[in-house]
Amino acid sequence: MRPLAAILIAAVTLGTVKAYTLFERSLPAPVVIANALDRAAGKFSVEVALTFDAAPDDFALEPLSVLIQLQGSELFRSQERLPAGQAIVLEDVEGVVEGVNSFFIKIAPAESDFTSQRAVRVRVLRDGVAISENTLWSEPGAAVKGIVKIDVKHASAGPHPH
Amino acid sequence: MVRKSHLFLLLAALASTIGAASGQEETEKKIAVCSTTQVADLTRQVVGDRWEVRCILAPGQDPHLYEIKAGDARIVASADLCLENGWHLEGKDWMRTLATTAGKPLVTCADGIAPLKLDQGDEVVHDPHTWFSPRNATIYVRHIVQVVVKIDPQHRSEYEARAELYVSQLRALHTWIQKQVSAIPSDRRILVTSHDAFNYFCREYEFKSAAPAGWSTGDEIGGGVTPERRRQAVESIRKYGVKAIFVETSVNPKLIRQIASDAGVRVGGELYSDSMGGPGSAGEAYIGMMRENVLTIVEALQ
């Protein structure tokens, strides 16, 4: 009788530990809330000027021609072919905060010629005034891909583009 | 005392059984069974060590001529997912037969690729050798990511991260190939191989192709060697002054050697075609296979 009781107690103990472990793992991951940042005052817009034909990227998981994100949130995407010279203008961009803002920009060229490097001109405007102008270059044959960082100060302090 | 030691052993056995069962639950891998070595390698690039990837074909085996073996059904029975190249690369659709018989989900990696249509009289056949363009290999990767994420959504970000990195390597491979083949003058870009496997490579990198055997080494419509094709291959070699022709790793080299002798041209080397290389060879992975092929072609034709 005693051995049986010992086995039973051991099984119940181990089972409880295992059940607790499984339960703990099944709990959703804690949500980490980033430090709240102050939204910057003013109307922001982004202009991307193409110097080459853009087309859906054949070497990407999603065949996009254009992808623009702000702090990881999508602002614009396209799977269309876009001609050289066309400007992509995003008005009233939401989510610009006081402090550093990172715009991720990816534009895929229609031709993947290994000899050519491509460029796009990126302007960020606040209330119609350019606060940042950058040129992003590609590796030969690759898509133009890069991050434009701007440091947006409190409205009275004025912008400080990087 | 004896009783106590028995009790201890019993408890130890019980604890180890429970431990082993829980450990198995945590480490049990899902299994993907692939038809060809190329599909298996591309799948490995996406799933990493998270899945076990098994391949029906061994390196060097010809998918057109393969016949189902007794052990294949057992391998497929263990699968969570089956993947094939498709478009009848697997002669008489042997992978489809295996997956359907076992009731397993099957993904056709060539689906969605712009096909090269081979006119075979009454029938039009889609050339199944799609992987020879890295652009098309990206489409294989997209299919693979989609399906593994569906089966194992918990590790989605991991699969997508691997796939993102891999397709960027495919882009680098593509631009590298463009650069390498630019060393071959355009009038010398004629690729003569054992069978018609390199049409997608030729379309991508502006080569002309010629082969004594059709799109399949088997007896499907448009496949196999005909005297007419053999004659045309020899004529093309003479007409265009081809510098070298190539044997393939998965096809008997005898015919190409005879043609080389008839046309008075040298054999430029061996290309990986319908199957990749064995473990330890440069062609054991897709990117290595493509790199070795390109180096062989450029060295022989430039």
Instruction: Quick: pLDDT tens for B104-148.
Output: 999 999 999 999 998 777 788 899 999 999 999 999 999 999 999
Do B82 and B155 belong together in one domain? yes
* B106 domain residue, yes or no: yes
Mutate to test the interface with B, among A20, A26, A61, A62 (most CBs of B within 10 A): A61
Domain around B82: 29-174
pLDDT of B21 > 80? The answer is no
- State the residue for tokens 């075609």: B273
- Please give the C-alpha separations between residue B28 and each of A17, B23, B41, B49, B112, in angstroms, as whole numbers: 21, 8, 21, 11, 32
Kindly state the DSSP code that residue B221 receives in the 8-state scheme: T
How many whole angstroms separate alpha carbon B196 and alpha carbon B143?
25
Provide the domain count of chain B.
Answer: 2
Please name the amino acid found at residue A86. Answer: Q
| Dist CA B109 CA A30 (whole Å) | 38
Distance from CA of B228 to the nearest CA of A (A): 38
Within this chain, do residues B35 and B168 fall inside the same structural domain, yes or no?
A: yes
Residue B18 forms part of a structural domain: no
Contact flag B15-A14 (C-beta cutoff 8 Å): yes
- Please say if the pLDDT value at position A156 is more than 90: no
d(CA B236, CA B171): 32
Average of per-residue pLDDT values in chain B: 89
Q: What band does A38 get if pLDDT is binned at 50, 70 and 90? A: confident
Answer yes or no: do B91 and B119 share one domain. yes
As a whole number, mean pLDDT of residues B161-182 equals 95
Q: CA-based diameter of chain A, in Å? A: 88
Q: Residues with Cβ < 8 Å from A63, sequence gap 6 or more?
A: A56, A57, A79
> Is residue A123 within 8 Å of residue A133, measured between CB atoms?
yes
pLDDT at A136 (0 to 100): 96
Check B138 against A15: CB less than 8 A apart. Answer: no
Q: Is B1 within a domain? A: no
Confidence label for B4 from pLDDT (cuts 50, 70 and 90): low
Closest chain B CA to residue A9: B11
Domain boundaries, chain A: 44-161
Q: What is the rounded distance in angstroms from the CA atom of residue B180 to the CA atom of residue B294?
A: 7
Contact B225, B255 (CB under 8 A): yes
Contact residues of B toward A, CB < 8 A: 3, 6-7, 10-11, 14-15, 18, 22, 134-135, 138, 141-142, 145, 160, 163-164, 167-168, 170-171, 174-176, 178-179, 182
Residue A20, chain B, CB below 8 Å: the answer is no
Identify the CA nearest to B269 among candidates B301, B225, B223, B232: B301
A10 touching chain B per CB within 8 A: yes
Domain check: are B213 and B138 in the same one? no
Confidence at residue A18, expressed as pLDDT on a 0 to 100 scale: 83
**Mean pLDDT calculated for residue range A75-85:** 95
pLDDT at B5: 57
What is the reported pLDDT for A122?
96
Instruction: Considering only the beta carbons, identify the residue of B145, B174, B176 that sits closest to A61.
Output: B145
What's the rounded Cα separation, in Å, for the pair A78 and B229?
46
Please indicate, yes or no, whether residues B40 and B168 belong to a single structural domain of this protein: yes
pLDDT digits over B276-292, tens only?
999 999 999 999 999 99
B155, B195: one domain: no
Q: Where are the alpha helices (DSSP H) in B188-226?
A: 199-205
* B158 and B77 in a common domain: yes
Q: B133 with B203: CB under 8 angstroms? A: yes
Asked whether residue A75 carries a pLDDT value surpassing 90, the answer given is yes
Nearest to A59 among B15, B167, B179 (CB): B167
Angle (nearest 5°) at CA B204 between B240 and A65: 155
pTM: 0.80
Q: Which of the pair, B230 or B266, is modelled with greater confidence?
A: B266
Let me know if residue B10 belongs to a domain.
Answer: no
Chain A: closest CA distance from residue B167 (Å): 6
Q: Which residues of A touch B141 (CB under 8 A)?
A: 61
Q: pLDDT digits over B59-99, tens only?
A: 999 999 999 999 999 999 999 999 999 999 999 999 999 99
Closest-CA distance of chain A to residue B257, Å: 35
CA B190/CA B208 separation, integer angstroms: 5
Q: Would an 8 Å CB–CB cutoff place A23 in contact with chain B?
A: no
A-chain CB neighbours of B7 within 8 Å are 3, 6
Nearest beta carbon to residue B174 from set A11, A21, A112: A112
- Chain A hits for B138, Cβ within 8 Å: 58-60
Quote the minimal CA–CA distance from A51 to chain B in Å: 20
C-alpha angle with apex B58: B54 to B62, nearest 5 degrees? Answer: 125
Q: Say whether pLDDT at A121 is over 60.
A: yes
Q: What CATH number should be reported for the domain holding residue B235?
A: 3.40.50.1980
What whole-number distance in Å separates Cα of residue A142 and Cα of residue A113? 8
**Are A99 and A122 in contact, with CB atoms under 8 Å apart?**
no
Nearest Cβ partner for A10 among B14, B141, B160: B14
**Same domain membership, residue B159 and residue B76:** yes
CB B87 within 8 A of CB B111: no
Residue of chain A with shortest Cα separation from B9: A7
Our CA-based measurement puts residue A17 at a distance from the nearest CA of chain B, in whole angstroms, of: 11
Helix (H, G, I), strand (E, B) or coil at B118: strand
pLDDT value at B18 more than 60: no
Does B9 reside within a domain? Answer: no
- In the block, residue with structure tokens 């102008």: A133
Cβ–Cβ contacts within 10 Å for residue B197, how many? 29
Higher pLDDT, A162 or B293: B293
Length reported for chain A: 162
Verify that B190 and B143 share a domain, yes or no.
no
pLDDT averaged over chain A? 87
Q: Is the pLDDT of residue A78 over 60?
A: yes
Per the DSSP assignment, residues forming a β-bridge with A107 are A66, A144
User: What pLDDT does B1 receive?
Assistant: 47
Least confident of B62-66, B144-148, B213-217, B239-243: B213-217
Q: How close B1 gets to chain A, by Cα (Å)?
A: 13
Token pair of B68 as six digits: 């189902």
User: Considering only CB atoms, which chain B residues are within 8 Å of A59?
Assistant: 134-135, 138, 167-168, 170-171, 174
**pLDDT (0 to 100) of residue B17:** 53
Q: Are residues B170 and B191 in the same domain?
A: no
B187 and B169 co-located in one domain: no
Distance CA B270, CA B262 (A): 19
Confidence (pLDDT) at A154: 83
Residue B19 lies in a domain: no
Average pLDDT (A62-90) is 95
- The stretch B176-191 carries a mean pLDDT of 94
Measured over the CA atoms of residue B99, residue B101, residue B105 and residue B106, the dihedral's sign is: positive
- Kindly indicate the confidence band of residue A4, based on its pLDDT and cuts at 50, 70 and 90: confident
Q: In what order do the strands lie in the sheet with A144-152?
A: A73-78, A66-70, A99-107, A144-152, A160-161
Using an 8 Å Cβ cutoff, are B216 and B248 in contact?
no
